[in-house]
Amino acid sequence: MFSGFPAFFVLYLLVQCPLLYAQGSANSTQAFLNAYDQGNIEQLVSQGLLAMEAEDFPEAERIFLEAMQVAKVNYGLSSKEQRIPLRHAIEAQLSQGKFEQAENHLTYFEWLNDEIYTRDFYAYLEGTELLSELLLKASADANNPLGVRYLIAAKNLNWRAVSGIEATLGEDNIQLTPWLYNIVLAHYYQSSLVKNSSVISYVHRSEDDEEINGFTLTMGESLRISYRIGAELLNRIADIYAATEEVPAESLALVQIYQADWEMLFGNETSALELYTDSYNQLLANGFGPEQANRVFARPTVLPATTLATSLEAFADEDQGPVRFHAWTPNYPATHLPSEEVAINSNAGAEFMALVKFTLHPLLPAGLMSNDRIIPLGFNVDDLEVISATPDNDLVRQRALYEVSLLQFRPRIKDGAPVVIEDVRLEYLFPPQYNVLSVSTN
């Protein structure tokens, strides 16, 4: 075959040809692998986020899905490294109104997180938090026809996290408390939805993933159920703090404030007053002076608070300027944006805002009379006026007056009794879905 060639040259070809072929194959393989290099995940996510900022949502979705594939190649089909690009891909799909595709990826996210649970419990909790935020974001989209179902799914997801913590860490572990409070908030969001309609319908899914029509509740029945479950969960949070060592001395008294808030939200003024007053007295009994105890109630707080604060350091001073309230969505009127992670993708919230001032007057609940003296409780917004608005027109001003009037506030307790708060300044940011056409006085 090699006749006519020097023997040494034939030997050279026999040795070098396989090496040259192997080198060419290696270069092709290396080029393929470079496209799926681990470092590409972070780069792709950064590129996708830039596309999101530019509101090029189709391109952002494509980039994030590519980053997911890179994560699968490098870390495996059930790797937790997929979650960040998957999360952003779902956000890009929601921004485009691609609700069917988003739901498919939300289902995949849940499967992926369940797979992670068997390997890394705390990674599972992190994933549960991410997925819960995505579900809340989806539920807040006024254009999403499945909004209610996503809210219920977020609530059920938090229940599953609670069950996992109970099984892994114990039924009295303090790590349960933020998850339990998330469920309390979900029931408030649900009650907010119910108040805008006379009935609420539930849709369940069978084991075969088929939709089954559930039962229909009247508004009163649904509100009673949400109130009862929220009250029970807040009682459980209080029990967990009472049984936990090495927590701040004031924790139990502060948790009781959230129990009182819940009573206020559902119109139970008598119970609320008793709890607020008892919380104040507990702070004094724990060695805090009246000035420190009064500070807890000094700053106007819109209900419900988005997080549990169980130490005095978490409460703001009275002189910190205007209260800032960022409305979340028209789906949940008079509800504060829970966190930036669940905000709808829009800058409109910064474009539509109003600075208002008002006085919070104690209300006069029935049945709270002692020696013909009525004990005031709660607050009613009075003397409400708009100081400035952006854009400054009658449409925005009138809408601000209406929406601020819907807010419910924690009473200011001073020396154990509710008092008037005058000249309250509040910076109201409208829901981010608002635009020139949707801001109206209707």
Per-residue pLDDT of the chain (442 residues; tens, 9 = 90+): 444 444 443 333 333 444 444 444 444 434 444 555 666 899 999 999 999 999 999 999 999 999 999 999 999 999 999 999 999 999 999 999 999 999 999 999 999 999 999 999 999 999 999 999 999 999 998 888 888 899 999 999 999 999 999 999 999 999 999 999 999 999 999 988 877 654 455 544 444 444 444 445 667 788 899 999 999 999 999 999 999 988 998 999 999 999 999 999 998 888 998 999 999 999 999 999 999 999 999 888 999 999 999 988 887 665 578 999 999 998 898 999 999 889 886 554 457 899 999 998 876 554 444 444 444 455 678 889 999 999 999 999 999 999 999 999 998 889 988 888 889 999 999 987 765 445 444 4
State the amino acid at position 26 in one-letter form: A
Return the structure tokens found at 150: 């996503």
Is the backbone peptide bond immediately before 304 cis, with ω within 30 degrees of 0? yes
Contact yes or no for 62/92 (Cβ under 8 A): no
Q: Which three-class secondary structure string do you get for 367-430?
A: CCEECCEECCEEEEEEEEEEEEEECCCHHHHHHHHHHHHCCCECCCEECCEECCEEEEEEEEEC
Close Cβ partners of 33 (under 8 Å, ≥ 6 residues apart): none
Which CB contacts under 8 angstroms, 24+ apart, belong to 70-75?
Answer: 70/35, 70/36, 70/37, 70/38, 70/40, 70/41, 70/44, 71/41, 73/36, 74/36, 74/37, 74/38, 74/41
pTM above 0.85, yes or no: no
- Which is it for strands 413-414 and 417-418: parallel, antiparallel or unpaired? antiparallel
User: What type of residue is 205?
Assistant: R
CA 161/CA 168 separation, integer angstroms = 10
